[in-house]
Every structure is written in C-alpha cells, then in structure tokens.
Amino acid sequence: MAEDSQTEIVDRDADWSKFLKSRYRKQLAELTREYPYRRSLQIDYRELESFGKTGLRIADELLDNPGKVIQDVRGAVRNHQLVKDREGQPAKELNIRFVNLPRTVGIRQIRSDHINRFISVEGILRKTTEVRPRVVQAVFRCPGGHFTIREQSYGRFREPDGCATEGCTFRKLELVPKRSRFVDSQKIRIQESPEGLRGGEQPQTLDVDVTDDLTGRVAPGDRVVINGILRSTQRVTHGEKNTIFDIYLECNSIEIAEKEFEEVQIDEKDEDEILTLSRDPNIYRKITHSIAPTIYGNEEVKEAIALQLFGGIMKEMPDGSHLRGDIHVLLIGDPGMAKSQLLRYVVKLSPRAIYTSGQSSTSAGLTATAVKDEFGDGRWTLEAGALVLADMGVAAVDEMDKMQKEDRSALHEAMEQQSISVAKAGITATLKSRCALLGAANPKLGRFDDYLPIGEQINMPASLLSRFDLIFVMSDKPDHKMDNAIAEHILKAHSIGETIAQHKRTPIPGVDDEYITEQLKPVTPEIDPSLFRKYVAYAKRTCFPRLNDAARGALSGYYMKLRDLASGSNKPVPVTARQLEALIRLAEASARIRLSQEIDLEDAQRVINTVDACLRQVAYDAKSGSFDIDRVVTGIPKGRRDLIRLIKETIREIVRETDNDRVAIPELLDRVSQKGFPRDDIRKQIDQFLREGEAMEPKSGFIKLI
C-alpha cells in the first residue's frame, strides 16, 4: 500500500510538471524573471479540464482535496525547478492560484459538505479591513537561548508549552519577531448580489481571509468572484467551546467582475428574441407598456423611466475626467399617484437595482460609513451603502422629501461625480456609485399648487433639484374622461383578480385559462419582465450609439432657441448647459432602445418633446411667458429676484432723501407698487426680509436694512 501511494505522489509530480511545461511555459519564464516581486502562478481551471484524462482527474481532485493539490503543484515546481530565484535556486515562496471555476456556489447555499473543499463564491464586497502582517511561523526563545518553532493558523495565536530542546525544562518562552515569518493579511466580507434575492430576504454574508499579494486589491462595492477553500473554526463563547462552528473562506484567488451585467445570462435563443424585438416598429410603445401595466396612463413618465433603464454612455476623457451617462429622474406628485408602485416595478425590471425609502435611510446607509465592530477586531472598517451597491444599476429612493437635510446632501456628489468620498475615523476613501437615481417626493403642502414656484413646494434644496435630468410633476387633477378610464381600469384589474382567486378554490363554469389570459391582457406586460431585463443588459453591453449630423443640429437648435429667449440682458435664464447634457444622454438611451449604433433625428425629436414637457411643468414662468430655469436651480424665480432688488434700492433711495436710516413701510409699499408689483407680494417680501434677518423693524411700521 505504501508502495502504491508513493507511486501516486511521483505520478502527480510528473503530471503537473507535464501540464505546466506544455501550457504555462511563458508564465513560468515571466515568474522566474520577476521573482520575488511577483510570486503567484495563476492556473485556469478550464485549461486543466481540457488537458486530457489526466487533466480531468487532477481538476476533480482540486475540488475535493485542494490542500493536497496545491502542495503537489508547489512540489512539482520545486522538484523540476520550473521557477528559480535570483541565485538560480528553486523558488520557495510560490502561490498557486486557480481561476475560472465552472460553477459558483451561492452564499446561502453553503453547507457542511463544502467544508475543506474548493469553491467559488460570487457577491458584492461589503467591508474590508486594513492590510496587516500576520504571523504564520512563530519562533520562540527560552532563557537558555534555544529556539522553538510553532506554525500558526488563522484565528488564535498558539504558544508552545515549553522549550522543545531535549533536556531543557524552561516553560516561559518569548516570541522573537525578527526570526518569525509574517504574511500580509486582510479580512473582507462579501454579501450576496441583490439581484438574486426574493423580496424581504436579508442578504447573507461570508467572511474571507485574504493573504499575501491578493491583499489591498479590492474596495467595498466591487463585484467579485472569490475562489478558495472553505474552512471552519469552533465558536468560543466566554471561554466555553461550542458545538457550532463558524465558516470562513481561505481565499485562493479573486476575480473582479469588470463587465457590467455579467450576472444576466443571455443565450443564443434570447439573443434572437432580443434582435427580433429591436426591429419591431412599435418597440417604444411595447417597452412603455411593459413598465407597470397595472398603472393606467402616465405614458410620459413611463417613457422617461424606459430611457433611464437603458441609460446614456459614460465617457472617459483624455484628461482623466468622466462624463456621466446615467439619467436621474425625479417624480413629484400628489399622494395616490402610484409613484412608489412605479419605483418598485423599476427595481424588478432593471438588471441591477436597489430600492430604499428616504424616510428610513441615513446618509451612512445610502453612501458608505466607517464602522467599528468585531469584524475588524475592534478597528474601523468601511461599509458600503445602497448607492455603492447599486453601482452600474438603478437606485430607487422613495420619499426623498422626508430625508434629513444632512442625509440629502450626501446625494450631491453621488449624482454628479458618481463617486462617494468618505473621510471618517482616519479612513479616507473614494467609492464608485455609477448609478441612475430614480427619486419620488410629495409636495410640501400635501398637494401640488400650480401657482407657487416649484422650489417652494418641495422640501429639497435647489442644488439637488438641478442635478435631475427630468423632473415630472404628477398632479391629481379631476378630469371626467380620464377619471372614468382609470376607474374602469382599476375595477377590471380587481374583478379579474377576484375571478382568479375564486376559480382556484372552486372552478367557475366557463372560466378557463384562455378566458383568464384574454381578461388579463390590459394588465399584462407586452414584453415579459425576464426578457425585458435581458434586453436592457444586452443593450448596455453591446450598444454604443453616436450622434449623426441631423440629430446634433436638432439638439443644438432646441438649446439655442431656449437660450435666445434670454438674450435680453434682464430676462430669466431659460436653460443651462446641464439641460443640454441631459438631452444628449436621453438621445443616447433612445437609440439604445432600438439597439441602433446611430442617434438619428427621430431620437432627438423624441427627447426634445420629453424635456419640453418637463420644463413646461417645472420651469415655465406664467408672468414672463417664458421658461425660467431659476425656478428649479436656485428656487427663486426671476420676477422675485427683481422685486428683492427693487425693494432694497427703494429703501436706500428714501434713506438718502430723508437722511434717516429708517423707512416707513406704507411709503415703501406705495413707491414699489408704482413700478407694477402687487402690494401683497411686496408685503410678503418685506416680512421675509425681517424673518431672515436682512432687515429689522426698529419701531412698529418702520424698516431698516441691516
């Protein structure tokens, strides 16, 4: 038996040597040249499988007995001198890394059978600790000068009971760090990807032990595939050993998922369906009708959401800056307009999306935070929040107006720069948050008032509003024809729902599957949600359209037309360059829906109509009869700015005339109202000055500027 096992070991040596020499000659030569600065040999599992019968056998052995196989490869490299150090000796410190395993195991699918086996796990990085040295071979010295070596494993530090030298009775030994061997070590925690979770499930996490040259390569929010050996450690509570063991992954290699939407599997059949769909002349109508079909109407909003799902193109500039491609949309509306329903539906359709409610979110939960817990052994660690986890996808934030002021300010950087900077507890880091934001908010006064400026109606700063590409006002206005259609739609949906529920219990005569399908048609999406997700992923992966001359001319013409409205020196500013960028992003998304590589005039017209409809709702100033983007951007319409300036000038004028620093309010009202402003507006503005501390009332009925 001993003979046999000996032959087996020798055979393995030869097998590995043969495999490495035939497939990895180039990598081995590179390692010899760069050793010891590079000391990892990366072996592709698929290469191993394709290496005949022997390859298959050792590939299977790797999954079942990884510790032995890694030692075998090291032995083969050493015995056959495949990698040498500077002195021409066989390299001792070599890491063998395996990548591209055929199957990944879900974090929640890990069971006791997987312990000590080689597995591959996919997820998002949630937390990381700093890189610190860990002792792997501790050398102890006794007072007699003898040395004792003790190998160390993950977890608790093990000390020898006494000096190992024969005849030496010393029990107290001290560690000699200089002679001990250390390795870089880092602890990371990965969490399941949110895509695979059913509603309400809490994502599960797995701790990973990363060592040597793999440390410090990943940051929270990265999507990774980690290959390694599943290990277990016994739980110890208050010094008592427990029968339950904790698991962790001993990392062998990390693959960073660079490609977007890799998790959406698209086979040839799906690809044919997608391409057929893209050639359909009614593709825009179909896509719009596939977004929340149970909600009647709101076509413009649904079309905007469709454009947001497909998104524009992110551009990298030669100077290192980047222009965002994600489209941000805000829905402001009266209660009961099904905003939350739309948000939930979008999360279902997007290949990667996260839903959160502003009322319960803190800035730390949205962006990222530094936490101090047992994971980092009491040290500070970085934890990624919702916007980081939604990187490359859609973040749906409901009830944005209910968020705390300081939490909302965390969104500024995430929306424009698409990154999140953290500077807390000695940690300074920048995380990526390249996500499109879909927000929903209610008006401050409960219902929308057509006559008040939008800035006064939403509990959100103007600087945040200006970052949205599209702002939709979903107001609830009674309209007999529309209300009748909505009532019909709701009653029909409920009635067929009741029929199905009843039919399941006791079959109703005349009701069969065909009847149900026919009745459900108005609330059935035209494109199945799973195909829709694949369609979006496919478009984002393969389609990068360019503007043609006609489209460029149309967008430029619309922008200039709006700017020219303000060519007079004292007119409101209609549109800023931000709106032009929004037009370009939307046009790119519109072409992507058709999987077209060119943005044509039709795309330009479509997005001009959408943006025009939005501007009419939020930036149209009825008094001046033109668009005033300041209603959104600064929250102060042009008319009000003129009134503020006029009141202040009039006060200074009266002070100069009377040589008295206080002015009678009735006189001020008379003078300013002569310039064509209503007395109510002037009175309101004077009260605001007094409230905000720009002026004071030294005596009743008098005002003085501060």
- List, for residues 283-312, the tens digit of each pLDDT value: 888 888 888 777 777 778 888 888 888 888
The mean pLDDT value for 628-632 works out to: 52
Token pair 């050792």: residue: 58
* Greatest mean pLDDT among 232-236, 384-388, 595-599, 673-677: 595-599
Query: Could you tell me the pTM of the whole model?
Result: 0.66
**DSSP designation for 522:** G
Q: Which residues contact 180 (CB under 8 A, 6 or more apart)?
A: 135, 137, 138, 139
Among 602, 555, 547, 598, CA closest to 579: 555
Query: In sequence order, what are the beta bridge partners of 90?
Result: 84
Of the candidate ranges 155-169, 208-222, 517-531, 634-648, the one whose mean pLDDT is the lowest: 634-648
pLDDT of residue 451: 60
CA 424 – CA 371 distance, rounded (Å): 9
CA 106 – CA 263 distance, rounded (Å): 13
pLDDT of residue 417: 79
Pairing of the two strands 329-333 and 322-323: unpaired
Largest CA distance in the chain: 117
Q: Which two tokens stand for residue 423?
A: 């500077």
The mean pLDDT value for 256-267 works out to: 61
Q: What is the pLDDT of residues 683-692, one digit of tens each?
A: 888 887 777 7
pLDDT of residue 652: 82
Cα 268 to its chain centre, rounded Å, is 29
Residue 397 above 60 pLDDT? Answer: yes
- What is the percent of the chain where pLDDT is above 70? 84
pLDDT band at 629, cuts 50/70/90? low
Residue 7 above 50 pLDDT? Answer: no
pLDDT of residue 481: 79
pLDDT of residue 450: 64
Pairing of the two strands 322-323 and 315-316: antiparallel
* Greatest mean pLDDT among 264-278, 385-399, 420-434, 578-592: 578-592
Residue 572 above 60 pLDDT? Answer: no
Residue bearing the bigger pLDDT, 403 or 113: 113
Residue 414 above 60 pLDDT? Answer: yes
In 242-298, where does DSSP find H-type helix? 268-278, 283-289
Residue 570 above 50 pLDDT? Answer: no
pLDDT of residue 198: 55
Angle at 83 between CA 78 and CA 88, to 5 degrees: 95
Among 190, 191, 193, CA closest to 209: 190
Residue 319 above 80 pLDDT? Answer: yes
Contact 242, 235 (CB under 8 A): yes
The mean pLDDT value for 309-331 works out to: 83
* Greatest mean pLDDT among 331-340, 495-504, 535-544: 535-544
Burial grade of 7 (CB within 10 A; 0-12, 13-18, 19 or more): exposed
Q: What is the pLDDT of residues 184-240, one digit of tens each?
A: 888 888 888 766 665 556 778 888 888 888 888 887 777 888 888 888 888 877 778
Mean residue pLDDT of the chain comes to: 77
pLDDT of residue 510: 67
The mean pLDDT value for 537-564 works out to: 84
pLDDT of residue 76: 79
Residue 252 above 80 pLDDT? Answer: yes
pLDDT band at 569, cuts 50/70/90? very low
Pairing of the two strands 702-705 and 695-696: antiparallel
Residue 420 above 60 pLDDT? Answer: yes
pLDDT band at 619, cuts 50/70/90? low
pLDDT of residue 6: 44
Q: Which residues contact 301 (CB under 8 A, 6 or more apart)?
A: 331, 342, 472, 474
Among 117, 87, 118, 93, CA closest to 41: 93
Distances in whole angstroms, Cα of residue 200 to Cα of each of 88, 194, 203, 355, 706: 59, 11, 9, 11, 56
The mean pLDDT value for 477-500 works out to: 78
Going from the N-terminus, what domains does the chain have, and what CATH number goes with each? 2-99 (3.30.1640.10), 107-256 (2.40.50.140), 268-480 (3.40.50.300), 543-633 (1.10.8), 638-705 (1.10.10.10)
Residue 606 above 70 pLDDT? Answer: yes
CA 209 – CA 129 distance, rounded (Å): 10
Cα 574 to its chain centre, rounded Å, is 33
CA 280 – CA 169 distance, rounded (Å): 88
pLDDT of residue 494: 82
CA 313 – CA 598 distance, rounded (Å): 13
CA 208 – CA 190 distance, rounded (Å): 8
pLDDT of residue 575: 61
Q: How many CB atoms lie within 10 A of CB 535?
A: 28
pLDDT band at 2, cuts 50/70/90? very low
Among 292, 274, 284, CA closest to 340: 292
Contact 209, 248 (CB under 8 A): yes
* Greatest mean pLDDT among 11-15, 434-438, 515-519: 434-438
Q: How many CB atoms lie within 10 A of CB 126?
A: 23
Within 13 A of 353's CA, how many CA atoms are on the CB side? 25
Among 369, 418, 368, CA closest to 392: 418
The dihedral through the CA atoms of 68, 73, 76, 77 has a sign that is negative
Token pair 């058709």: residue: 594
Residue 43 above 70 pLDDT? Answer: yes
